[in-house]
Structure 1
Amino acid sequence: MPLVVVVFNKKGGVGKTTLADGLADVLEARGREVAFISVDPQIGARHATGEGAPDPSSDYVIVDTPGAITESTRDLLPTADVVIVPTIPSTTNVASTQESLELAHRDAPDALLLTVINSRRRTASDNAFVSQVEEGMLGDAGIIFCVPERTAFRDAERWRQPITTVSPFMPVNYSVHTFL
């Protein structure tokens, strides 16, 4: 049976699709068989989107979800072995991140729960946000920092290459490798 990784946050614009794509890139580069499912109607993922049940011979199933709680999201969360909740360090994201984590805890109680905090550089406000997250929201969920470099993302898009290829040593890739 494949390991099912659901990338989920009920808020849009927090890096779900970028993280899901990057995770699939790294796994494929390591020779793993990856099924990629996107239920995000924005269809921003570069990977082929599977429909229906994934191939049971896959090593991993990566699921990219929309920035909303949909019927598809509710159906997919209980299948997760790992739920990754990406967020950005902003007080406007605290409530949505907390609600997303609570939903993941409830609907996927046996899944490993990780929070990825996307941030250009770790600042004092990031540290304050992390403190809020650790004190009130996460429980036993782990935190991984992703530090995207905007020029690398722009280059990856222009060259139509995975970010993990364009800039293999940037911190966002380190975060993906750390998870694996």
Structure 2
Amino acid sequence: MIAPTAPLARGLRATAVGFAVTAVAVGAHVVGHGTPPPLLALAPVALAVAALVLVFSGTRWNVLALLAVIGAAQVAVHELSVYLTGHDHISVLMLIAHVVATVGTSLGLAYGERLWWRLWRWATRVLMAFENSVTLPVTRLPRLDLTHRAVPVGCPPRVLPRRGPPAC
């Protein structure tokens, strides 16, 4: 099983969190009666969030770190939407939608993080117990004894070389 801090797991977690957080931020913006930015404009935001999450993914994530990263993503998506669509007012519904999305996503990801580490501890414990309980059979190979064999002296006629000095 892959360790939670292994490079592959860190990359997969960062990518999944980056795209999920961006999608939730766009959803919150739409719920707050905003217009979503074009999908092509969201790709750099999702990659930036994934890169930011990758920096923090070497250790366990806590709720405060997740709140900071997800809050930054919410602000980035909101500002991108404002820049691309041209509306410059912030409604109370928009603010509430972004705050609820930030807190909800942070709590959900923190719960998923606890499950991921719990699964890792359980699987490691099970595999270590299995490794300690399984013993491989030890078989001894028969000893090769060459002392009682007769060794012929001289060269057999079929081994004579065609060129060079004689072999025997």
Higher alpha-carbon Rg: 2
TM range (shorter): under 0.3
- The structure carrying a bigger strand percent of its residues is 1
Higher relative contact order (CA 8 A, sep 6+): 2
TM-score normalised to the size of structure 2? 0.26
